[in-house]
Amino acid sequence: MINLLLDIIYPPSCEACGTLIPSRSELLCIKCRLNLSRTDYHKLRRNPVAQHFWGRLQVERATSFLHFREQSICQQLIHKLKYEGRPDIGVALGRLLASELKVNGFFEEIDLILPIPMHKAKQKKRGYNQAERLAYGVALQTSIEISTDHLLKGIHTESQTKKGRAKRFENVRDSFSLQNERDLDSKHILLIDDVITTGSTLEACGRLLKDRLDCRLSILTLAATD
């Protein structure tokens, strides 16, 4: 009833262009959904995201759903997700990317989803972890179990924005930890994050998992910088 009243007072509109849409859960109008800058990397095993980890981390598969480009719909949505208090956008995008990727079998044999964690202080300030919201959307669409209790970030690191790959990895290398790690042994784990630039954060988490566990590892992000 409350949602119905909200829709009457504030009709749902496309998050990118403002066109009216049937439901808030759709997020985008048909035109903007079609205009999303999809990478289609999941159709190629030797794709640019997978190449980030060659010789550094053994992964089963790795992909990003969208290209992150200036002034793109993707950039608009990620800005709202991260800086405008819109965790619902993360869930909706997680569901969207999962619905498209599972057609090509990307999620086959995945046992558990681990979103890249945020430091508690940063998460408290933002109110949520955007990677966790994306992962929750993927879990809803695929029925794969998600855990936020095993992979933790214990050290609050500096911003990565202006750092190169080596500095980024050095910045995050020892900032993550595992708890109840035996629960993860022998599983195929999917790490999820919002954007991949150099892959240093995902590499740090992946190395921790591979060093401590007998596990298989795959990687998924919403977007990748070009």
**Residues 21, 63 within the same domain:** no
Q: What is the pTM of this model?
A: 0.90
DSSP 210: H
**Residues 100, 209 within the same domain:** yes
3-8: list long-range contacts, CB under 8 Å, 24+ apart: none
pLDDT for position 174: 78
**Residues 26, 101 within the same domain:** no
Number of H helices, E strands in the chain: 9, 7
**Residues 87, 126 within the same domain:** yes
Contact 155, 118 (CB under 8 A): no
pLDDT for position 10: 79
**Residues 96, 110 within the same domain:** yes
pLDDT for position 163: 47
Contact 195, 39 (CB under 8 A): no
Task: Render each residue's pLDDT in the chain as its tens digit; 226 residues.
Answer: 566 566 667 789 999 999 999 988 899 999 999 999 999 999 999 999 999 999 999 999 999 999 999 999 999 999 999 999 999 999 999 999 999 999 999 999 999 999 999 999 999 999 999 999 999 999 999 999 999 999 999 765 555 455 445 554 556 767 899 999 999 999 999 999 999 999 999 999 999 999 999 999 999 999 999 8
**Residues 47, 25 within the same domain:** no
Instruction: Write out the residue range of the structural domain in which residue 11 sits.
Output: 1-35
pLDDT for position 137: 98
**Residues 205, 168 within the same domain:** yes
Contact 51, 59 (CB under 8 A): no
CATH number, domain containing residue 160: 3.40.50.2020
CA-CA distance, 113 to 160, in Å (whole number)? 24
pLDDT for position 167: 55
Question: Which whole-number Å values give the CA distances from 4 to 11, 21, 131, in the listed order?
Answer: 9, 14, 29
CA-CA distance, 85 to 127, in Å (whole number)? 8
